[in-house]
Amino acid sequence: MEISPETYDAILKQAIELAYQVIPSILYAIFFYFVGKFIIVRVLKGLRNFLDKREDSPSLNEFVYSFTKVILFIVLFVGVAAIIGVPVTSFLAIFGAAGLAIGLALQGSLSNFAGGLLILAFKPFRVGDVIVGQGHTGKISKIQILYTHLMTFDNREVIIPNGNLANSDIINMSTQENRRTEITVGVAYGTNIKQAKEIILNILANDPRVLEDPAPFVALNNFGDSSLDLVVRAWSNAAELWPVYFDTMEAINTEFEKHEIEIPFPQRVVHQSK
C-alpha cells in the first residue's frame, strides 16, 4: 500500500508538532531530575551530618535518614512523571492502595514500629539501663525499630516487641544515682527491740557504702505469726545496691548470733487438752 505525498506530509507535520510538544517536556523532565537529585544528595548529606552528632539514638537516626531518603526520591519521581504528562492521581491511588494492603497485612509489625519510634524518641530507657518490663529484669543491650533486646542477669537474651513494651509499665533502675536497700528482719517475740535496732544501725554506720543522707532507718514494722518484723532501709550508690543488701543480711545474722538474738522460723503451737 503506497502512501500518497499528501498523507506523508501530514504524518510528518504531526510528528514534528508532537516532537515540539514532547521533546521540551522530556528535556525539562531530565533537567528537573538531575537538579532534584543534586538537591536531594545535598539535603541527605546535611541530614547525615546532623544525625551523626546525635549518637545517643543510632537506630532512630538511621530510620530518619532512610525514611527521608525514600520520601524525597518518591517526590522526585512523581514530579518527573507529572512533567512528562503521566497522571499523578494514578500514582497516588496506587501508593494509597499499596499502603492500605501493607498496613492490613502488617498490623502487629506496625504496632511494634510505632512503639519503637516512641521509645527511641522519648527515651524511657537507653542501652545499658537495667529495667523491669514485660515480666523480665535485665540490662538493655540493643534498641531496634521493631524489637528491644534485654539481657537477663543469668545471661539470657529476651527479645521484646516494642509495641508491647511501649504500652506497658516500665521500671527503669538506672535513672537515679542512688537507690534504697530494704530488708525485713524477723526476731523472736520477747527480743529487746531497742538492742536489735542498735545492732543493725551500727552495722550500717560501719559500712562506707551506706550513705549518711538519707540516714539509715530501722523500725518495728509488723507483728508476724512467729516473729517481730523489723524493716531496715539504707541508701547507697545504685551500683552498690545488691552488695550492700547481701552483706548487710550476712552481717545481721552474724551479730545476732553473737548477741544471742533469735531469728525465728515459722512454727505452730498445738495445745492438747486431756
- Angstrom distance (rounded) from CA 249 to CA 186: 12
Q: pLDDT by residue (tens digit) across 210-249? A: 999 999 999 999 998 889 999 999 999 988 998 999 999 9
Bridge pairing between strands 170-172 and 130-133: antiparallel
**What's the rounded mean pLDDT across residues 46-53?**
83
The pLDDT value given to residue 75:
84
Quote the number of domains for the chain. 3
Q: Is residue 110 part of a domain?
A: no
- Work out the mean pLDDT of the chain and round it to a whole number: 83
What residue has cell string 532507718? 217
233 & 192 share domain: yes
148 & 80 share domain: no
Q: pLDDT by residue (tens digit) across 158-168? A: 999 998 898 88
Is residue 130 within 8 A of residue 137, CB to CB? The reply is yes
Q: Is residue 270 part of a domain?
A: no
- Angstrom distance (rounded) from CA 73 to CA 179: 50
CATH code of the domain containing 18: 1.10.287
pLDDT(201) > 90: yes
Q: What are the respective helix, strand and coil percentages of the chain, to the nearest 5? A: 55, 20, 25
Q: Is residue 263 part of a domain?
A: no
Edge-first strand order for the sheet with 217-223 is 178-187, 228-237, 217-223
Enclosing domain of residue 81: 5-105
Backbone phi, then psi, for 206, in 5-degree steps? -90, 0
Q: Residue 98 is which amino acid?
A: A
Q: Is residue 118 part of a domain?
A: no
